[in-house]
Structure 1
Amino acid sequence: MNGTPVIVVGSGPTGLLLAGDLATAGVPVTVVERRPHQISNLSRAFVLHARTLEQLDARALADGLEALGQRLDKLRLFGRLTIDLDDLPSRFNHLLVLPQYEVEKALERRAVEAGVDFRYETEVTGLSQDGTGVTVEVRGPDGSTESLRAEYLVGADGMRSAVRDAIGLPFPGHSVIRSVVLADVRLAERPETLLTVNAVGDAFAFIAPFGDGYHRVIAWNRARDVPDSEPLDLDEIKEVTRLALGRDFGMHDARWMSRFHSDERQAPAYRVGRVFLAGDAAHVHTPAGGQGMNTGLQDAANLSWKLAQVMGGHAGPELLDTYQSERHPVGRSVLRSSGGIVRLAMAKRPWELALRATLTTVLDHAAPARRRMLGRLTGIGYRYAAPRGSHPLTGTRVPDVAFADGGRLHESLRGGHFVLITPEGHDDRGAHKGRLTVERWASERRTTVLVRPDGYVGWAAEGADEAAVQAALAAHVGD
């Protein structure tokens, strides 16, 4: 039986970021993936939101991806509402249109460089756990079976998660949209906007560029409810696109077409003993708002540093319970928001149309409501629950603040460190060397803030003395 501290099942974006974080923190990790080693260009995800870009910036990946993608500075909703993203309180005050496979390439390079052990064409066939670890049964590419042992295991293996099935967790929910069609095509006419999306009557269509001359088309005709196995041709996709967008942009040379259904589901628990779920294994929802890959990556960023703290002996296993309490509510919120967007986009009944018109008016004229909506959509508006009596900043996301020496927060977070931001200079906290960076505000701010490795406030205080700082470091960073 082969042993490793952590096994990650699944090498999609969620699994790759998680594994790369663990390896960077010095935790040996094995990734088990049932597919052959390849990064498919048949991406469903096309958008990186501000919070995800911030997390990638804290891993020195955002600038490279920004160079590959295309910025979208405005959002159009329901055909008549335009929302300017310039006011987002983030260095990344835009959406980045970039196929998922480019994100996977960057995350895989990072994971390989950090020393992650990849086992491709290896399928999970069973799983059991006890008080000291997890035993997972796998079948390799030659058909032979093997038992792998780990202290913890993370299932990042998608909607049809073998890990979730093995630990007996249900996946309650239902299909929201049936017979969605996808195609990668060339276009004779260039769309006027970077992301082209609209709904008319029973028809919905979305078009986004790959950057290699092909465009991804996602379309749905509510009036055509057929099984996923029903044959699909380009004429059907062109017809739905014309209904929704008024024209098909001269689609031709489809290199791939598929039909699928979109579900809204969430596991009731993201943790069972020493096994965790992340990404689509934990929650799935409609593509509306482009939140799927983004939510999974943020799951991984939340869980990875906690596993590293526990595996390094710097925190007790109870820290891992906060993964459920912090991320499950976010997953539930994403299900509601993405489902709400698609239902409003496809509104037909008079009361639905009236609700959409009212919401559009509110978002168009009420800045606070618009900020709340954008905060949820882009991920920067979420905060985690804090203990009673905590400083108001506790649990909030910290923007990429500037430091007195000219650096910035995301640079200091690289390597999975905690960052202590103080009003005045302090020593380098040698007791926490390699796990804590001390920085000083560039401004006159007097708050002392301890930023977790995922960029959220773990502790904060006004006018904190040395004893208070040391107590906070002991509680959060550990010995």
Structure 2
Amino acid sequence: MSEHIDKSVDSRGVVVVGAGPTGLLLAGDLAESGVPVTLLERRPPGLSNLSRALVVHATTLEAFDSRGIAAPLIERGAPVQSLRLFDTAVVDVSDLPTPYPYLLVVPQYETEAVLHERLERLGVRIRYDTEVVGLRQDADGVTVTARDASGTREERAAYVVGTDGSRSAVRSLLGVEFPGHTVVASVMLVDARLSQPPQARIATNTDGDKFAFVAPFKDGYHRIICWDQKHAKAETEPVELSEVREILRETLGTDFGMGEPRWSSRFHSDERQAEHYRVGRVFLAGDAAHTHSPAGGQGMNTGLLDAANLSWKLVAVLRGHADDALLDTYESERYPVGSAVIKGSGLLLRAAEIKMTPARKARNLAMHFALARPAVNRRIGYALSGLWISYPAPHGSHPLTGHRAGDVALDGAPSRLLEALRGGGFVLLAPAELHEAAERVGVRAPGVTTAVPADGGPVRLVRPDGYIAWAADAPTIEDVAKAIAAATDRRRPER
């Protein structure tokens, strides 16, 4: 029996369970849009000292830019424009069509710090040492049962989002299956200084059962990720530096003069995906919805983009601008992305695990020559950076519909699309004369910013998450009005 009902979140609000990067971004988006939000975290107060994720990709940086928080994160990280794969093969991302043509190497705790600072500015309070132990749904909302030091309490909210990791309590309470398997049993993480760092800023290679990855942080330390599948140890075992040095020497030819680490850890890596991302009024995002190997550095980035996709839809529904059915598109859009990331990282991992020496040499040679071709290099860069992601579009739509808009240069202020998106609404990109004609006939909608693209191009209506909701080459005012109405007022007509 609950001791009391907490009124801090009302029936119009959202409870977010889990204060990792995905939950922090989602809670910030909701709060910035005026939605009541409470963030529950099982851990005690203070930033986590865990640092598993270390790469922020271009698409994620664009999402941060559209919230005005990319710059402080970039200041904390080290941009890297290429990485070495399998001996001499090099992936170069320096010419990708994005303001951020690099991999930003930055510890996860720094990403969390930037997201925490945003929440503090918005006045969002995180309730630490709080465990969710029950969920009850009905037609009007969700009752969350949470336990903290003061006892057990119930809260009422319109929706709940579980961003509470691979061992998600929310997913367990929903009874959603999380099928999959362990792919690497004993991954070692080490942050240490190297007296002789690699020439390639990011270096990675494999020798059958052994794998190593080395990348620089901005503060002079390097992150080392490695494993030896023949000598896998329990996660509770300490990381022995002799193990790490041996793996580095056998895979990359040297231990780079590795010194004593400031931090080390072991963990196992799974490939799993929740059977559903939505059950009624409860959603799963981030590691609660999908986990995969560390190959490609996709985990945290995929979760952050889950949050960017879901947050504006929750806001639209809670403001009464959209029917609850809009929330179904979260799963239909993000589930395939999660599946593709699991498949892609799995293929890269299995390529790294080739054991026979002749096969490894053939792999290395094939990768070297393949990545020497600009088209192949660009394709791999798109896959790593997240620029490949697009969402389904209605039949007969303009080819741009469902694709990422990118950072379009604009005439006037703001000067870039990502800046125009900082209001959290849609942006209509159209010639000045079309905007003027629309204004004369009264075509306008709350929450839609108008902007003139400097490069001309098709008329585009861009969603709050930076994807194109609608596009046309030469639309009439009536076409624009219908598109705005369809995108910004998705309520079902009354019968």
State the TM bucket, normalised to the shorter chain.
Answer: over 0.9
Q: 1:474 aligns with which of 442, 466, 485?
A: 485
CA contact (8 A) 1:285 1:335 kept: yes
Matches within 5 A, 1:301-316: 301-316=308-323
Residues 1:158 and 2:131 aligned together: no
Q: Deviations over 1:361-410 (max 9, x none)?
A: 33332x33333322221101111010111111110001101112151100
Q: Give the letter for the 2:291 counterpart.
A: V
Residues 1:20 and 2:28 aligned together: yes
Matches within 5 A, 1:109-120: 109-120=117-128
Matches within 5 A, 1:69-468: 69-142=77-150, 144-349=151-356, 354=362, 357-365=365-373, 367-405=374-412, 407-425=415-433, 426=435, 431-433=444-446, 435-445=447-457, 447-468=458-479
Tell me the CA shift for residue 238 of structure 1: 2.1
Compare 324-333 and 128-137 and name the one that shifted more: 128-137
Tell me the CA shift for residue 223 of structure 1: 1.4
Q: Distance in 1 between matches of 2:285 and 2:313?
A: 14
Residues 1:30 and 2:14 aligned together: no
Q: Give the letter for the 2:26 counterpart.
A: L
Q: Give the letter for the 1:369 counterpart.
A: V
Q: Deviations over 1:228-286 (max 9, x none)?
A: 23343222222222222222233333333322111111111111111111111100111
Compare 240-249 and 353-362 and name the one that shifted more: 353-362
Q: Distance in 2 between matches of 1:354 and 1:272?
A: 47
Q: Distance in 2 between matches of 1:212 and 1:126?
A: 43
Secondary structure in structure 2 of the residue aligned to 1:112:
helix
Tell me the CA shift for residue 38 of structure 1: 1.2
Q: Give the letter for the 1:418 counterpart.
A: F
Task: Please provide the CA RMSD for this pair.
Answer: 1.9
Q: Give the letter for the 1:413 counterpart.
A: L
Q: Give the letter for the 2:269 counterpart.
A: S
Q: Give the letter for the 1:460 counterpart.
A: A
Q: 1:46 aligns with which of 49, 54, 59?
A: 54
Q: Distance in 1 between matches of 2:402 and 2:248?
A: 43
Compare 231-240 and 53-62 and name the one that shifted more: 231-240
Distance 1:352 1:273, change over 3 A: farther
Q: Distance in 1 between matches of 2:88 and 2:248?
A: 19
Q: Distance in 1 between matches of 2:489 and 2:92?
A: 43
Q: Distance in 2 between matches of 1:36 and 1:452?
A: 36
Compare 197-206 and 13-22 and name the one that shifted more: 197-206
Tell me the CA shift for residue 185 of structure 1: 2.6
Residues 1:58 and 2:66 aligned together: yes
Tell me the CA shift for residue 113 of structure 1: 1.5
Tell me the CA shift for residue 334 of structure 1: 0.5
Q: Distance in 2 between matches of 1:191 and 1:86?
A: 19
User: What TM-score comes out, normalization by structure 2 length?
Assistant: 0.91
Secondary structure in structure 2 of the residue aligned to 1:219:
strand
Tell me the CA shift for residue 359 of structure 1: 4.9
Distance 1:430 1:25, change over 3 A: farther
CA contact (8 A) 1:91 1:400 kept: yes
Secondary structure in structure 2 of the residue aligned to 1:432:
coil
Secondary structure in structure 2 of the residue aligned to 1:322:
helix
Q: Distance in 2 between matches of 1:234 and 1:152?
A: 46
Point out where structure 1 has 5 or more consecutive residues left out of the alignment: none
Tell me the CA shift for residue 416 of structure 1: 0.8
Tell me the CA shift for residue 351 of structure 1: 5.5
CA contact (8 A) 2:92 2:377 kept: no
Tell me the CA shift for residue 150 of structure 1: 0.9
Secondary structure in structure 2 of the residue aligned to 1:83:
strand
Compare 86-95 and 166-175 and name the one that shifted more: 86-95
Secondary structure in structure 2 of the residue aligned to 1:249:
coil
CA contact (8 A) 1:374 1:381 kept: no
Secondary structure in structure 1 of the residue aligned to 2:432:
coil
Q: Distance in 1 between matches of 2:70 and 2:58?
A: 10
CA contact (8 A) 1:21 1:304 kept: yes
Q: Deviations over 1:335-369 (max 9, x none)?
A: 1111111211221245576456445433332x333
Q: Give the letter for the 1:122 counterpart.
A: T
Distance 1:443 1:148, change over 3 A: same
Q: Give the letter for the 1:439 counterpart.
A: A
Secondary structure in structure 1 of the residue aligned to 2:410:
coil
Tell me the CA shift for residue 161 of structure 1: 0.5
Tell me the CA shift for residue 48 of structure 1: 1.0
Distance 1:195 1:358, change over 3 A: closer
CA contact (8 A) 1:285 1:292 kept: yes
**Share of identical aligned residues, percent?**
52
Q: Distance in 1 between matches of 2:107 and 2:363?
A: 33
User: What TM-score comes out, normalization by structure 1 length?
Assistant: 0.94
CA contact (8 A) 1:344 1:356 kept: no
Q: How many residues align?
A: 475
Q: Give the letter for the 2:464 counterpart.
A: P
Q: Deviations over 1:57-112 (max 9, x none)?
A: 10111122222211111122212211222220111111111111111111111122
Q: Distance in 2 between matches of 1:344 and 1:242?
A: 20
Distance 1:190 1:361, change over 3 A: closer
Secondary structure in structure 1 of the residue aligned to 2:466:
coil
